Structure formats: structure tokens, C-alpha cells
Amino acid sequence: MCGIVAYIGHKPAKELLVEGLKRMEYRGYDSAGIAVLNGGLRCIRAVGRVAVLEDKLTTVDDLEGTIGIAHTRWATHGEVNEANCHPQQDDKHAIAIIHNGTIENYATLKTYLKGRGHSFTSATDTEVMVMLISELYQGDLEQAVRAALKEIRGAYAIGVICANEPDTLVVARKGSPLIIGVGAGEYVVASDASAIVAHTTQAFSLDDEQVCKITRDGFRTSTLDNIAVTPEVRQLEIDLEQIELGSFDTYMMKEIYEQPERLRLTMKGRIKSRDGQIVLGGVSKFTRELVRARRFVLTGQGTAYHAAMLGEYLFEDLAKVPAKVEYASEFRYRNPIIVDGTVLVAVSQSGETADTLAALHEAKERGALTLGVVNVVGSSITRETDAGVYLRVGPEIGVASTKAFTGQVAVLTMLALYMGRRRYMSVEACADLLSQFERVPEMIEKTLEQNDHILDVTKKYVDQENWLFLGRGYNYPAALEGALKLKEISYIHAEGMPAAEMKHGPIALIHDGMPVVFIANQGPQYDKVMLNIEQVKSRGGRIIAVATEGDKQIETIADDVFYVPHIADPLSPLLTVVPLQLMACHAAMLRGHDVDKPRNLAKSVTVE
Ligand code: M6R
């Protein structure tokens, strides 16, 4: 989704802003722009990649200022063209704004502003914001921003500069992330820590409806009513190495390979396998409520939804508590019943997904206790939930979520055991699962050793346009995740479903040579899965199986097999998903696609 970066300091702003935009390219965008104060306001914008903007900038020579704002846009209001790019300017070309989010009452405000004589050149809600600021400007940019924001309904993270105030940058947020990096006499503001970390690791976030006026001498943060607040400057939890490719060609592949090391961090200090004990500091204050909860609702979107679905299975199976998974976007609008003792678990990598945030608000409103299972520290979901457990998988740059998925499933497994142990589970049963859980990282390492084989198999099927992914029980959500991975980066049509559901309709699709991926680990439903494989095989489908090491029977029926080590069934998706991630990545690369920047997609979907 859109990315914003702003700078005020002593360095040339242009280079720094372009570098910041490049670091945020992974978020997904369709156009980019930059504005710098250099005597007057200079604004350059371009449709397409940041590289196109960069080329354009080489033809402009008066962009030498040390204060500026820049933006990558993912269109929401108005088509993808230069007029709709950010920065947007007022009609006097004195004030420029960059904006993430959407303004709900922009049409009414636009009519009002037109009546006041303003003329518009774009179809964006953002131009309405800058025009309103201009309308209310009486010589003090901060005041004008504050006054405008009071009139606005919707979500925003903004950066504003004004030709009349060349030493002032004003930023504000509501519902969209904004981080202010604090350097020595310089400030880098961005929607994403990756654009800041090369310059400073000291930063603070704004809370909703807070405004910050920044000059080279310092900053002042306040509410919309101008009450001063003191934000807590903290150390950013990412470093440059984490956001660079290193020896990998793509972030997705890097992140797939990082999973063992990252999961060790997810588990670190949280499990005592010999004692059958789980320690989750982030939820310990609510242990009683969790153990006595009557019902859990787990929610998320996309990959996070698949992890939440596994959470549903884990909570019911291991903690013996009723649980239900729901798409956040559906939960929010369907008037859900929240009985006493309901806990909502919001699962999200970014912690900023608009639908998940909205579901969280709805559940809170109706009295549920709320937990976050989130990766990005300090993100909106973490700030708005009552408690939570961080994934600790480090920044995920690839648009296709991989290490966040295994991190989410690992955290949900620990939460299920945390409650299960305090409800019905014996120390021995818990200790047994934990000792296997602890070995997941080394088992993933072993699975990754098959990468060359997975590439060879992918080559055999990569030209096929329709794939099915089938699994049962715990491996049904893993099958959904495998299908999502393949379709989102390789643009191959892929569907995931319960293996048994196939014969109720989708079996009609099976034709000679169609690749059908079965997750056929040796769990309780192994025999049933084998039966489903026969049904596909006899109709000409080509079987790619993910199976348990040592299973020779599967080789007699499957065309190709990827093996994973033996593990207890509830933990198996943490392994079975890995070959599917690798296969999707290879398929996309073989088809010549940009794996990290798939078409139409954004890393974090902050609009509904
Ligand atoms: O940041 P979140 O985990 O809340 O994002 C949710 C989905 O948008 C995300 O998982 C998406 O489906 C990924 N592109 C899948 O790889």
C-alpha cells in the first residue's frame, strides 16, 4: 500500500527521499512523487516505478533543498495518472501534502471548497485535504493542519510542507502508521521503519489524532486540541541487514530460508519443554480470563486468515475451548454475537490491515477481550488490543507472506498449549508436544535441503494454468495457504480445499495432466487422503504429494513427492507449508515474474 517518507535536516533531501521510497517499494504502488522546498515549492511526480521518478529527477536541477516529502501511491481515489500522484498541492502551489489512508467525507468537503473558489486538478481525496489546509491557513502551518484534521473523517498519515515556512515539517496520523526517526539535527518520518533505519534507529510513533511539528531544532507533539504530549523515543527493532537481500535473489526466498532461525526466536524464553510449561509474558496479565474464556474468535485476512484457521483447530483440539475463525472483513459487517467470555484474536503480520483493525474495533465495542498475534512492534493492532504475543520473525519484505505465517502458527500453537495446560492437558502430553515443537526449526532446515528437487518438480508443471491444493484436518489450512502462495506471485489459477470436498463438484475440473497437490502426511487422516489421491489419479490428475519421510507407499501412487520429517499432526502444517512456499517462489521465477512485487498487490492492505 502507499508509502510516505519525509525529511528535514541538513542533508540534500532529494537523494534521501528517493532512497526511502525504494526501501518501501515492496509495499506495492503504482506511482511516485517528491516535493522539496528550495526557495519555493518544487514537486515532481511520475507514474510507474520509483526508477521512472528517479530518471525524471535527473532532468530537474533546482531540487537541492534539505526539507521535503515523498510518496509511493497505490490508487484508491482516481485512476493511476500523474495528476493523481502525491504530493498533492493546493491551488496556490504553496502547500504540499503526502497522504496514506482514505478520507470518507472528501466529497462534501470538495463541494464546500469549490464554493470557496478553489479549483481541483485531481480525483484524489488527498487534494481535498491540502486545499482545506490552504483554506484555513493564516500564517501558521501547524494550526492550519490541526484545524483541517478536525473537519476530516477517515484515516490518514500525512506529511505537509509550506513554501512560506521553509523550516517546518508538519506530520499527523489517525489509523495509518507513522514513525518519526530522530537523528542529530535531522528527522526522517515514514510509514515504514525500513525507510528510516539507514539514518537513525531512534524513533517514536504518533498516536491517533496527534500532530507533530518538526523543525531542525526539535519537535513538538500535540493532540488535535493542541494539548502537548510527550512521546516515548525508543530503539527501532530492525537493522539494515534484516532488510537487505544478502546472497538471495528475492526477499521471498530469503524469508523462506530465514524460517528456522526466526522460529527459534519466536520460541526463545517462551517454552520449557521438560516441565511442559509455556511462558507468554504478553498475555500473563489475562491468564485467568483466557483459561475461563467461553469462546474464541480468531480473525485475519489472507495468509493471516489461514494461520487463524489453524488457530481454531489448535484451540479446540489442544485447549478444548470453542473457537471460530472468521474473515475480519465479514465479521465486521455481519452483526456478530459476542457472548460474555468471548476473546477475539486478531492475527496480522503488519498489524495495520484495515479489515482486521475494523473487526477488532467491533469486537471491543461489543465487550470482547482482545489479543493480537502480530509481527510489527508498535503497530495499530498491538496498540489497540488488550494483550498479545509478538511473532518476532523480523521485517517481512516479500509481499507473499512466508515467515510471518509460520510465526503466526507457532504463536497460536503456544497460546493453545498455554491454555490447554491450564485446562485439561497433562504435563506429560504438553511436554511431549513441546519437545517436538522445539525441533520444528531443525526439521524446516531439513525440508529446505530439498530445494533443488522442488525446483525440478516445479519445472515439470509450471506451464499448467489450473492447480488444486488438497489437505485434510490440520493440513486443510496449509493447502489453502499453498494455493494462495502460488496464485499471488505466479498468477497461476490455484484453489485450495478440503480433500474430501473435491468430490462434491471440483472433481469435474480434473483432466489429464492437471497438477493436484495433496498434503498427505502420516496423520490421523492419512488413509482417507490416499483414497482421495486415487480418485484424482484415476481421472488423469498428476499428483504432487507432501508426505512424511519414510513413507514408501506414497511413491507408488504420486507422480512426485516432497518429504517432511515426522511430527505430531497439530504441528505438521509448520513443515508441510514449506515445500509449497518454495514451489510457489520457483513457479513465479520460472514464469519471469517479480516475486517480491506481484502485480496489483500491496504488502499491507490499509484500506477496506
Ligand atoms: O499484514 P497482515 O498479516 O494483516 O496481512 C494480511 C494479508 O493481506 C496478507 O497475509 C496477504 O494475504 C499476503 N499477501 C499473503 O501472502
Rounded Cα–Cα distance for residues 565 and 548 (Å): 6
Which pLDDT band holds residue 102 (cuts at 50, 70, 90)? confident
Rounded Cα–Cα distance for residues 4 and 98 (Å): 7
pLDDT tens profile 234-281: 988 777 777 788 889 999 999 999 999 999 999 999 999 888 999 999
pLDDT tens profile 497-549: 999 898 898 888 899 999 999 999 999 999 999 999 999 999 999 999 999 99
Residue 1 pLDDT > 70: no
Residue 397 in contact with ligand 1 by CB distance below 6 A: no
Question: 466 C-alpha vs ligand 1 centroid, how far in Å?
Answer: 23
All domains in the chain, ordered by first residue: 3-241 (3.60.20.10), 246-438 (3.40.50.10490), 447-593 (3.40.50.10490)
216-222 contacts, C-beta under 8 A, 24 or more apart: 216/8, 216/9, 216/10, 216/167, 216/185, 216/186, 217/185, 219/180, 219/182, 219/187, 222/146
pLDDT tens profile 200-235: 989 999 989 999 999 999 999 999 999 999 999 998
Catalytic residues: 2, 603
Residue 329 pLDDT > 80: yes
Opening angle at CA 550, ends 546 and 551, nearest 5: 55
Residue 303 in contact with ligand 1 by CB distance below 6 A: yes
Residue 350 in contact with ligand 1 by CB distance below 6 A: yes
Question: 373 C-alpha vs ligand 1 centroid, how far in Å?
Answer: 13
Q: Ligand 1, from 26, 350, 384, 486: best to mutate by most atoms within 8 Å of Cβ?
A: 350
φ and ψ at residue 326, rounded to 5 degrees: -145, 140
Alpha-carbon distances of 547 from 135, 433, 544, 564, 566, rounded to whole Å: 65, 20, 10, 6, 9
Nearest CA to ligand 1 atom 10: 303
Residue 401 in contact with ligand 1 by CB distance below 6 A: yes
Alpha-carbon distances of 215 from 9, 41, 334, 591, rounded to whole Å: 8, 17, 46, 49
Residue 373 in contact with ligand 1 by CB distance below 6 A: no
Rounded Cα–Cα distance for residues 486 and 489 (Å): 6
Residue 205 in contact with ligand 1 by CB distance below 6 A: no
Of 29-38, 403-412, 439-448, 560-569, give the lowest mean pLDDT range: 29-38
Q: Ligand 1, from 353, 397, 402: best to mutate by most atoms within 8 Å of Cβ?
A: 353
Question: 305 C-alpha vs ligand 1 centroid, how far in Å?
Answer: 8
At residue 229, the pLDDT reads 95
Give the residue carrying C-alpha cell 525440478: 456
At residue 598, the pLDDT reads 85
pLDDT tens profile 110-137: 999 999 999 999 999 999 999 999 999 9
Rounded Cα–Cα distance for residues 239 and 197 (Å): 6
Residue 9 in contact with ligand 1 by CB distance below 6 A: no
Rounded Cα–Cα distance for residues 241 and 247 (Å): 11
For the CA of 603, the nearest atom of ligand 1:
14
Residue 396 in contact with ligand 1 by CB distance below 6 A: no
Question: 399 C-alpha vs ligand 1 centroid, how far in Å?
Answer: 8
Question: 405 C-alpha vs ligand 1 centroid, how far in Å?
Answer: 9
User: How large is the greatest C-alpha to C-alpha distance in the chain, in angstroms?
Assistant: 80
Residue 26 pLDDT > 90: no
pLDDT tens profile 159-188: 999 999 999 999 999 988 899 999 999 999
Q: Which residue has the higher pLDDT, 194 or 17?
A: 17
